[in-house]
């Protein structure tokens, strides 16, 4: 295994980690508040008369970033497995 393939493997691992964080981050951030708000609405719990704490645009950005992170993770995993297969 030469140094170029090692660097490529490390880069792919870094991309997988970053994309996995992008995929799950919105669930714990602004999207998490929205999911709790929707859960309260579905369960017919009393709702405060104010709007949710996060803005519409932040939630929209979170909904866009999550699938993109998942797609990046899948692509980098594919290339990582392919590079491992080629080296063996």
- The number of domains in the chain is 1
pTM of the full structure: 0.58
Per-residue pLDDT of the chain (88 residues; tens, 9 = 90+): 577 777 878 888 888 888 888 788 777 766 666 767 777 777 777 766 666 555 667 777 777 777 888 888 888 888 888 887 766 5
* Helices of type H across the chain: 3-28, 30-42, 56-87
What pLDDT score does 87 carry? 61
Q: 22, 76 in Cβ contact below 8 A?
A: no
Write out the residue range of the structural domain in which residue 37 sits: 3-87
Q: 21, 69 in Cβ contact below 8 A?
A: yes
How far is residue 5's CA from residue 2's CA, in Å, rounded to a whole number?
A: 6
- Token pair 């929205």 is at which residue? 34
């Amino acid at each position: 295994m030469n140094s170029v393939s090692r660097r490529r493997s490390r880069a792919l691992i870094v991309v997988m980690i970053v994309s996995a964080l992008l995929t799950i981050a919105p669930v714990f951030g602004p999207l998490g508040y929205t999911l709790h708000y929707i859960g309260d609405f579905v369960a017919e719990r009393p709702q405060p008369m104010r709007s949710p704490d996060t803005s519409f645009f932040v939630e929209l950005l979170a909904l866009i970033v999550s699938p993109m992170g998942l797609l990046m993770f899948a692509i980098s995993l594919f290339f990582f497995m392919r590079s491992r297969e080629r080296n063996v």
